[in-house]
Amino acid sequence: MTMFQGFQIALHALRLNPLRSFLTMLGIVIGVASIVTVFAIGSGAQLRLQEQIRSIGANVLMITPGAVYQGGVRLKDGSKLTMTESDVQAILEQIPEIQAAAGSIAGTAQIIHESKNWNTTINGTTTGHFMVRDWQLATGRYFSGTEEASAGKVVILGSTVARELFAPGDDPIGAQIRIMKVPLEVVGVLDRKGPAQDDVAFVPLSTAKLRFLGSASNINRDSVAYIIAKVAADGQMAGARSEIESLLRQRHRVPAGQEDDFKVQDPAAAMEAQQGAIRTVALLLVAIASVSLLVGGISIMNVMIVSVTERTREIGIRRALGGRMRDIRLQFLCEALVLCLLGGAIGVAGGITLSMTVARMAGWITSIDGEAIGLALVFSIATGLIFGFYPAHKASRLSPIEALKTE
Amino acid sequence: MSAPLPLISLRSVSRTYRTDGVAVTAVRNVSFDIAQGEIVAVMGPSGSGKSTLMNMIGLLDLPSEGAVHLEGANVAELSEDRRSSLRARSIGFVFQSYNLLARHNAIENVALPLVYCGVGRKARLARAEASLEAVGMLHRAHHFPRQLSGGEQQRVAIARALIASPLIVLADEPTGALDSRTGAEILALFAALNRTGQTIVMITHDPGIATQCRRTIRLHDGELVSDETTAGLLPKRSAVS
Ligand SMILES: Nc1ncnc2c1ncn2[C@@H]1O[C@H](COP(=O)(O)OP(=O)(O)OP(=O)(O)O)[C@@H](O)[C@H]1O
Ligand SMILES: [Mg+2]
Q: Which of A38-47, A131-140, B128-137 has the lowest mean pLDDT?
A: A38-47
Q: Residue A95: pLDDT above 50? A: yes
Q: How far apart are CA A23 and CA B209, in angstroms?
A: 52
In this structure, are strands A116-125 and A200-204 parallel, antiparallel, or unpaired?
Answer: parallel
3-class SS letters over A328-361? HHHHHHHHHHHHHHHHHHHHHHHHHHHHHHHHHH
Whether the per-residue pLDDT at B238 is higher than 50: the answer is no
If you average pLDDT over residues A205-217, what whole number do you get? 76
pLDDT for residue B1? 47
DSSP B232: P
pLDDT at B69: 96
Flag whether pLDDT at A69 surpasses 70. no
ipTM: 0.92
- The number of CA neighbours under 13 Å toward the Cβ of A88 is 26
Contact flag A320-B88 (C-beta cutoff 8 Å): no
CB atoms within 10 A of CB B240: 17
Angle value at C-alpha A68, between A64 and A70, nearest 5 degrees? 160
DSSP state letters, B117-135: TT--HHHHHHHHHHHHHHT
- The yes-or-no verdict on residue B177 having pLDDT over 80 is yes
- Contact status, residue A63 vs residue A227, Cβ threshold 8 Å: yes
Residue whose Cα lies nearest atom 25 of ligand 1: it is B46
Summarize the confidence of residues A10-36 as an average pLDDT: 89
Strand A226-231 relative to strand A60-65, pairing: antiparallel
Taking 80 as the threshold, does the pLDDT of residue A148 lie above it?
yes
SS3 A190: strand
- A28: nearest Cα among A240, A246, A295: A295
A79: confidence class by pLDDT, cuts 50, 70, 90 = low
Query: Residue B67 pLDDT more than 90?
Result: yes
* Average pLDDT value over all residues in chain A: 88
pLDDT number for residue A72:
65
Chain A residues whose beta carbon lies within 8 Å of the beta carbon of residue B112: 317-318, 321
Q: What is the mean pLDDT of chain B?
A: 91
**How far apart, in whole angstroms, are the C-alpha atoms of residue A170 and residue A189?**
12
Specify the pLDDT at position A393.
Answer: 96
Q: Cα–chain-centroid distance for residue B7? A: 14
Q: What is the pLDDT of residues A260-303, one digit of tens each?
A: 888 898 888 888 788 888 888 888 888 888 888 888 889 899 99
- Quote helix, strand, coil % in chain B, to nearest 5: 35, 25, 35
User: To 5 degrees, how large is the angle CA A80–CA A121–CA A203?
Assistant: 85
CA distance B102 to chain A (A): 9
Instruction: Determine the pLDDT at residue A294.
Output: 87
- Phi, psi dihedrals of residue A286, rounded to the nearest 5°: -65, -40
What percent of chain A shows pLDDT beyond 90? 46
> Residue A235's pLDDT band (boundaries 50, 70, 90)?
confident
> Chain B residue with minimal CA distance to A322?
B88
In this structure, which residue's CA is closest to atom 22 in ligand 1? B51
pLDDT digits (tens, 9 = 90+) for B161-171: 999 999 999 99
Contacts of B115 in chain A (CB under 8 A): 1, 5, 323
When pLDDT is averaged across residues B29-56 and rounded to a whole number, the result is: 95
Average pLDDT over residues A134-157: 93
Cβ-nearest to A401 among B60, B85, B164: B60
> Can you say how many angstroms the Cα of residue B76 is from the centroid of all Cα atoms in its chain?
20
Instruction: Please choose, from the candidates A130, A127, A128, A133, the residue with its C-alpha nearest in 3D space to the C-alpha of residue A54.
Output: A133
Chain A residues within an 8 Å CB radius of B89: 322
Q: List domains and CATH numbers for chain B.
A: 36-64+79-229 (3.40.50.300)
Residue A80 has a pLDDT of: 73
Residue of A nearest to B80 (CA): A324
pLDDT tens digits, one per residue of A105-120:
988 899 999 889 899 9
φ, ψ of residue A404 in degrees (nearest 5)? -70, -20
- For the ranges A22-31, A326-335, B195-204, which has the lowest average pLDDT? A22-31
pLDDT of residue B11: 96
pLDDT winner (highest mean) among A165-169, A297-301, B217-221: B217-221
Predicted pLDDT of residue A196: 77
CA–CA gap between residue A172 and residue A113 (Å, rounded) = 10
Given 3-state DSSP classes, what are the helix, strand and coil percentages for chain A, each rounded to the nearest 5?
55, 20, 25
HSE of A222, CA atoms in CB hemisphere, 13 A: 8
Confidence of residue B155 (pLDDT cuts 50, 70, 90): very high
Please report which residue ranges of A200-324 form alpha helices under DSSP H.
205-207, 237-251, 267-310, 312-320
Query: A197-221: string of b/e by CB count within 10 Å (b at 16+)?
Result: bbbbbbbbbbbbbebbbeeeeebee
Closest partner residue to B85 (CB to CB) among A317, A324, A400 is: A324
Amino acid at A305: I
Residue A8's Cβ-count burial label (10 Å; 0-12, 13-18, 19+) is: middle
Residue A75, pLDDT score:
65
Instruction: State how far Cα A362 lies from the chain centre.
Output: 14
CA distance A129 to B164: 85
**Is the Cβ–Cβ distance between A86 and A222 less than 8 Å?**
yes
CA B79–ligand 1 middle distance (angstroms): 25
DSSP state of A254: P
pLDDT for residue A194 is more than 60: yes
Confidence of residue B237 (pLDDT cuts 50, 70, 90): very low
The answer on pLDDT for B146 being more than 60 is yes
Best residue in A15, A321, A327, A407 for a mutation probing chain B (most B CBs within 10 Å): A321
Q: How far is CA A176 from CA A46, A188, A286, B110, in A?
A: 39, 12, 53, 89
- Give the lowest-confidence range in A45-59, A121-135, A163-177, B186-200: A45-59
Instruction: Give residue-wise pLDDT tens across range A347-404.
Output: 999 999 998 898 888 877 788 878 888 888 888 899 899 999 999 999 999 999 999 9
Q: Which of B104, B128, B100, B102 minimizes the C-alpha distance to B114?
A: B128
Which of B13, B17, B20 for a ligand 1 pocket mutation test, highest count of atoms within 8 Å of Cβ? B17
How many alpha carbons fall within 13 Å on the CB side of residue A106?
Answer: 16
Per-residue pLDDT, B166: 96
CA angle A76, A80, A81 (to 5 degrees): 135
Q: Which of A163-167, A340-344, B210-214 is least confident?
A: B210-214
CB–CB of A304/A28 below 8 Å? Answer: no
Q: Would strands A262-265 and B39-43 be described as parallel, antiparallel, or unpaired?
A: unpaired
CB–CB of A341/A335 below 8 Å? no
Which among A350, A315, A313, A317 has a CA at the least distance from the CA of A331? A315
Instruction: Tell me which of A181 and A72 has the higher pLDDT.
Output: A181
Which residues in B lie closer than 8 A to residue A321 (C-beta atoms)? Answer: 87-88, 93, 112-113, 116, 160
**Average pLDDT, integer, range A308-326:** 95
Region B172-200 average pLDDT:
92
pLDDT more than 70, % of chain A? 95
Give the pLDDT of residue A78.
61
Q: Ligand 1, closest atom to CA B55?
A: 18
The protein residue with its alpha carbon nearest to ligand 1, atom 16, reads B49
DSSP element (H, E) containing B209 = helix B207-211
